[in-house]
Amino acid sequence: MRIHTGILIGAVLLLLASSSLAQSACPPQGCGIDESVIEAHRWPNVRPLEIKEDLIRDRDYRRIEGAFTIHTSPNSEDSEAFGSGFTFVTVVEQQGDWTRIGENQWVRSELLSESVSPSRFAGALLPTAEDALPFTVAWTLRHLRGAKTPGGAEAADNPFRYRYTQVYIYDTVKVDGYDWYQIGVDQWAHQFKVAKILPVKRPEAVDTHKWVSIDLYEQVAIAYEDETPVFATLVSSGLEQWPTNEGLFHVYVRFTRKLMSGARNQPDFYYLQEVPWTMFYDDEIALHGAYWHDGFGFRRSHGCVNISVTDARWLFDWSQSEYDWSNGDYVGPAVYVYSSGEYD
């Protein structure tokens, strides 16, 4: 089971490492698969998407802390005031103390943060041959060094794994009710530290050639062509108070860039300019790029499914063939949202 925040994850893992109850479930002869097998399959047979600098840096994104006012021109009295919230804008041009963030939209330059750099995370293209992935593929969700045994503490002499590293899961052992995954020779990671790619059988109700599954438990989206998974990536879905709905949907409208704003005059107010590669599928819930955070693999949204800018562009382009523009058919790929587990 996955818990909600990085801080709580760290506390739980520290407790697990230090607790006398967290003992290895391995028999005397040990557990995990043979070293020779691991050496023959050291790295997952997947191909990460290429990071294109001109794509992720084609806008100058800035954050606004606190209340702000948008003017129709510098020093204009014709304006609209907004309270504090989660606010990101894009810089078009600057003139002295004023910055233009859109057509007839100006804010005082002093309100803006330094430029925000979008995440460089990207998902992976999957091989289509059935036997091309001998083990389950996962991403590490934090920097780590594996424990020598399931339930143990991280070992200083184990290889360092950066966050977002793709790994195979060679074996699974349960310790105190939680899964520990073997990710290398004498390397074990608690289930809270990884997100697995778990393709699902195509639901009978899916009626499009191309479709997407979103696993809310693993926080992983997978793109399929008929029965075949072709791409997978990490997502950030809705927080507990703004859950992403489960069910079967279809993309019904999409935008290359879209203003997203809501909860005005409320504590959770947000104002996000030019959200990239947005595909709405469940009323106001969309699958879209998120340039304002690098927390993929954990829930953190108002209900939408956040993915990296790189991934959002790929999915947007990949799904293009699912629409029949000539017949006015704007119904896009099916989106199947489900959970493979239950949050703790």
User: DSSP characters for 117-165?
Assistant: PPP----EEPP-STTS-SSEEEEESS-EE-BSSTT-PBPTTSPEE-TT-
- Count of alpha carbons within 13 angstroms of residue 303, beta-carbon side: 18
Q: Could you give the strand order of the β-sheet that contains 136-140, starting from the edge strand earlier in sequence?
A: 166-169, 136-140, 194-196
For residue 101 the two structure tokens come to: 């963030």
The DSSP secondary-structure symbol of 269 reads -
Name the pairing type of β-strands 136-140 and 194-196.
Answer: antiparallel
Quick one: average pLDDT of 280-288? 97
Whole-number pLDDT of residue 288: 98
| pLDDT at residue 22 greater than cutoff 60 | no
Q: How open is the CA angle 188-190-196, to the nearest 5 degrees?
A: 95
More confident residue, 178 or 25: 178
- Count of alpha carbons within 13 angstroms of residue 73, beta-carbon side: 1
**Residue showing tokens 């859950």:** 243
Instruction: Mean pLDDT check: name the lowest of 11-20, 35-44, 93-102, 221-230.
Output: 11-20
Whole-number pLDDT of residue 324: 82
DSSP codes joined into one string, 12-31: HHHHHHH-TT------TT--
13 — pLDDT class (breaks 50, 70, 90):
very low
Q: What is the pTM of this model?
A: 0.91
- Count of alpha carbons within 13 angstroms of residue 315, beta-carbon side: 39
CA distances 112 to 60, 67, 166, 176, 304, Å, are 11, 11, 36, 48, 25
More confident residue, 14 or 180: 180
Q: Are 213 and 222 in contact (CB under 8 A)?
A: yes
The set of residues, in sequence order, having a beta carbon less than 8 Å from that of 82 and lying 6+ positions away, is: 67, 68, 69, 70, 264, 269, 271
How far, in Å, CA of 135 to CA of 334, rounded? 27
The DSSP secondary-structure symbol of 81 reads E
Handedness of CA 177, 178, 179, 185 (dihedral sign): negative
How far, in Å, CA of 164 to CA of 297, rounded? 9
What percent of the chain is predicted at pLDDT more than 70? 92
Whole-number pLDDT of residue 28: 59
Q: Are 114 and 63 in contact (CB under 8 A)?
A: no
Q: How open is the CA angle 75-81-82, to the nearest 5 degrees?
A: 135
Quick one: average pLDDT of 268-293? 97
Q: CA nearest 217: which of 344, 94, 43?
A: 344
9 — pLDDT class (breaks 50, 70, 90):
very low
CA distances 107 to 78, 150, 258, Å, are 12, 54, 19
Quick one: average pLDDT of 156-175? 97
How far, in Å, CA of 312 to CA of 220, rounded? 13
Average pLDDT, the chain: 91
Q: Are 252 and 332 in contact (CB under 8 A)?
A: yes
Quick one: average pLDDT of 28-48? 89
Whole-number pLDDT of residue 72: 96
How far, in Å, CA of 212 to CA of 129, rounded? 19
